[in-house]
Amino acid sequence: MIPFTKHTLGNGLQVVVHEDHHLPLVAVNIWYHVGSANEAPGRSGLAHLFEHLMFKGAEHQPRGFFEPLQEAGGSLNGSTSADRTNYWSVVPAGATELALWMEADRMGWLVPALSVERFETEREVVLNERRQSYENRPYGLAHFALSEAIYPSDHPYHWPTIGYPSDLRAATVDDARAFFQQYYHPANASLAIAGDVRTDAVMALVERLFGDIPAGPELRPPMTPAALPAPRRLLLEDRVELPRLYLVFPSPALFAEGDAVLDVTADLVANGRTSRLYRTLLHDRRRAAGLGAGQGSRELGSLFQVVATAAPGVMLEELRLAVMDELERLATHGPSAAELERARVQAEASFLYRLETLGGFGGKADQLNAYNVYTGEPGYFAQDLDRYLRVTTADVQRAVRTFLSTSQAALLSVVPQGQRQWALDGSEPAVVTT
Amino acid sequence: MGPGRIRAGGGDHVTNNLRFVMPPPGAPARVTFPPVARETLSNGARVWSIRHDTIPVVTIALVVPVGSACDPPSAPGLAGVMADLLDEGTDRLDAIGLAEAFATLGSELSIDVGPDTTTFTLTTLPRFMDGALALLGDVMTRPRLHEADLERVREIRLNRLRQVRSSASAVADRAFLSAAFGTHPYGHGTLGTSAALSRVSIDEVRAFHAGGMRPLGATLIISGDVGPQEAFLAAERQLGGWQALDGTSRLAPVPVATASGPARVIVVDRPGAPQTEVNVGHLGSARHIDEYHALVTLNALLGGQFSSRINLNLREARGLTYGARTAFDFRLRSGTFSCETNVQGDATPLVVSEILKEFEAVGGSRPAGTDELERAKSSITRGFVRQFETSEQLAHAAARIATFDLPADTFDRFVPDVEAVTPDAVSSAARRHVRAGDAIVVVVGDASMWRDQLASLGRPVEDAVIEF
């Protein structure tokens, strides 16, 4: 579906090129296979803080990273997850060399420009980001509480990607330099270029700009996840108006058996107006004020969640029972033929809509890199779609029975300050490290 | 590579090594907006078709010139309630049935109520276009507007209102709009208030629907992998029967807003909040203004993007925020100019005074230099090509032409008109459209940290309780 060629430079850098000449536009996208899962305990948040530092400008970029690319008409951003860090720019075709040069310069020559002052200012920016996006946002700490409860303290998914404030404050510029030396090098990166380029010409450019950056140390993947602790009931008081229940189940890793089935299951159960719980809990009975579900796919193991916000006056126990009943029904009877047909059409359409943009989060260049980094095969698009098209009633029944049983759930009640009476019985206060 | 591995540092420079010279941005990519084929349906609705065949998808956008500013003074939020009820069911399908029908076409109907317009948007596959238009036609011509559906919509919206009041940015937006526009219809948002929502009756909704959802003045935009002839025929077939109800009259137009609320500091106290949401600005221009391109350039330079003055000051130099942005919110009859940011609580007074200094400086003590202006213009003109990529981008661009009744060549004139903006034009625009002295300052956070210091800004400080 996305024609491409894949190349590997002598230093190990993998390069994927996709030509699309509809518009004079080019997407440059680079993934470093490092995320918060690679962090050492006590240094949480370093991968994400480092992502910020990558935008401060490398040695030969005295005007910083943003300004030259914005002046060239580019749009750019980056993001960090537990598993990877990605950076992208979308530029007019004439600025392709500039965009690649900027990436190469920060891959090779970031450290000489990394001053203590830059580091400390950016740490403050990240602490602001944490307060704005999580601490000061309703329900913003719920996922932190769940990760800390579900994963043991030495598990790479135990701590939040944004980091603990105390760890961020303790980090030094030397930590950042060491992090760069260990993880930011050609053999740990995948570069995708999509758009109005000629493959031969752009590969010559890539060879010239990236080819002389030395390969780095060999890396080991993060530790294998340890066994998960027993299920539990947790409670968080927050600056919120309505109580909300999170039902969270450990589930298969990204691309593992059952991953796509659970993604489809999430839509069937509680996503959008066509979902079962929307009809019963929200539309018909109005016991919920909001609903959602998702299979949060990650490299080392995933979490499947159903989130239900109570309508005023409704106890979270009532929502828990309704969700578990629906899962039980799904395990017993499976989805209807109409539900599965809808899921197939939606998969086909959503995969097609994903081909509309060259760059940015989720654009074609980002997808090529995601497939390349996680499966080694940039052209995994068709196999990925196929996982959704072939989901059967029996698959859904089996996945629900195997993964979504009460005995495996972590249940978090988030309630307004001082109103624990709405929470599930037997819930203990959640830990959110600050 | 082991311990011998070396990263080239400052000492490794080779004189004249082009390796370390930043390449120029290259020639700008010139693009023209794709042709828009225009037709009119038998009922008076306009149909615009835009061919865009990079991917086999079609976006359908229906723009109706009725938005939250048309709400009667007694019923803020009525346009939003009416829009919510439209996809709560037709004479053939209930709310769930309708959603299922769209999903079966790989689609989902989104209804966006803005101040001036209500826009219905969906993206589907070409083979489903006719079916999607048929469903949209049902929504437009045969909505149920049942009492029981209103009760459900009312409850869902009351719950949403209850939840957004714990969002600092929602509180600040509401406080700012209300302070800037006062009692003008732009002074409230789509959600309205709980009090008004509790009162609204199905008869009011039906009357508003009859007065507002009319084909004359509406524009149906079809962009994507479909030819104009096919698009027009499908539109006539599926929406040609949409008619205004007999004996009803069009809603009154929105008046022009002229006077901004007085400069002051509006404090919404949230004890214990770790951050302060800050919104500083005043009444601004409508979309129709000769200086439009000077204002767009001014915004890019002052606060519209990452590398603008205010973000460089507050985030990059000082680390006080995750980001700060300015925007002109151009509406049909009026608008606002404002700077929004979210900052650490103890930095609130410093941030507010820095924003006001930047407002003053760009039209006064530190006008745009030639280089700085050229960089801002370059980012806008060179980046223009990025707005033409998807069928939805094209449909929504055309929707702006419809909403503001702009000339057909608006997008093709954009680049040359920005290029023609002079330093004097930006300074002059800044003096008249970015006015520190008139600015209303909204701060939502733990006031015990900064209330006294904000009093020294020399404008009245008032505590506000924001109605939701």
Instruction: Tell me the residue type at B111.
Output: I
A 111-140 → B contacts, CB under 8 A: 111-112, 120-125, 127-129, 131-133, 135-138
Q: Is B28 close to A353, i.e. CB distance below 8 A?
A: no
Which portions of chain B are predicted below pLDDT 50? 1-16
Report the gap between the CA of A299 and the closest CA in chain B (Å): 27
> CA-CA distance, A159 to A130, in Å (whole number)?
13
pLDDT score at B83: 97
CB neighbours of A326 closer than 8 A, spacing ≥ 6? A269, A276, A277, A280
**A187 — contact with chain B (CB < 8 Å)?**
no
Closest residue in B to A73 (Cα) is: B383
pLDDT score at B8: 38
pLDDT score at B268: 97
Report the gap between the CA of B247 and the closest CA in chain A (Å): 34
Size of interface A-B (CB pairs under 8 A): 241
CA dihedral sign, ordered B130, B132, B134, B136 = negative
Q: Is B25 close to A108, i.e. CB distance below 8 A?
A: no
Residue numbers in A near B389 (CB within 8 A): 23, 25, 356-358
pLDDT score at B248: 74
pLDDT score at B9: 37
Q: At A258, list the tokens.
A: 């059952």
**Residues in chain B, total:** 468
pLDDT score at B14: 44
Residue numbers in A near B171 (CB within 8 A): none
Give the nearest partner residue to A94 out of B27, B108, B381, using CB atoms: B27
> CA-CA distance, B28 to B295, in Å (whole number)?
22
Residue pair A236/B29 in contact by the 8 Å Cβ criterion: no
Residue numbers in B near A68 (CB within 8 A): 22, 25
Residue matched to tokens 């929105």: B254
Beta bridge partners of B445: B269
Q: What is the DSSP string of B319-375?
A: --EEEEEEEEEE-SS-EEEEEEEEEEGGGHHHHHHHHHHHHHHHHTTSPPPHHHHHH
Closest residue in A to B304 (Cα) is: A70
Nearest C-alpha neighbor of A84 from the set A235, A194, A188, A197: A188
* Long-range contact set of residues A132-135: C-beta below 8 Å, sequence gap at least 24: A132/B275, A132/B321, A132/B322, A132/B342, A133/A162, A133/B322, A134/A160, A134/A162, A135/B274, A135/B275
Residue range A333-343, pLDDT digits in tens = 999 999 999 99
Nearest C-alpha neighbor of A346 from the set B284, B468, B123: B123
**B305 — contact with chain A (CB < 8 Å)?**
yes
Beta A75-80 vs A25-32: how paired, if at all? unpaired
Identify from A356, A367, A385, A415 which residue to disrupt to test chain B contact, counting B C-beta atoms within 10 A and taking the largest count. A356
Nearest C-alpha neighbor of A332 from the set A404, A386, A411, A417: A404
Q: Is A242 close to B9, i.e. CB distance below 8 A?
A: no
A 310-349 → B contacts, CB under 8 A: 311-312, 338, 341-342, 345-346, 348-349
**A29 — contact with chain B (CB < 8 Å)?**
no
pTM value is: 0.94
Residue pair B351/B277 in contact by the 8 Å Cβ criterion: no
> CA-CA distance, B121 to B396, in Å (whole number)?
9
pLDDT score at A227: 61
B 359-388 → A contacts, CB under 8 A: 375, 378-386, 388
Q: Is A23 close to B31, i.e. CB distance below 8 A?
A: yes
Beta B461-463 vs B335-344: how paired, if at all? unpaired
> CA-CA distance, B260 to B176, in Å (whole number)?
11
**B111 — contact with chain A (CB < 8 Å)?**
no
Q: Is A353 close to B156, i.e. CB distance below 8 A?
A: no
Closest residue in A to B377 (Cα) is: A71
pLDDT score at B11: 38
pLDDT score at A230: 65
pLDDT along chain A (434 residues), means of 10: 95 98 97 96 96 96 95 97 98 98 97 96 96 93 95 92 97 96 96 98 97 91 70 92 96 97 97 95 95 96 97 97 97 97 93 95 98 98 97 98 93 97 96 88
Q: Is A241 close to B306, i.e. CB distance below 8 A?
A: no
CA dihedral sign, ordered A417, A420, A423, A426 = positive
**A283 — contact with chain B (CB < 8 Å)?**
yes
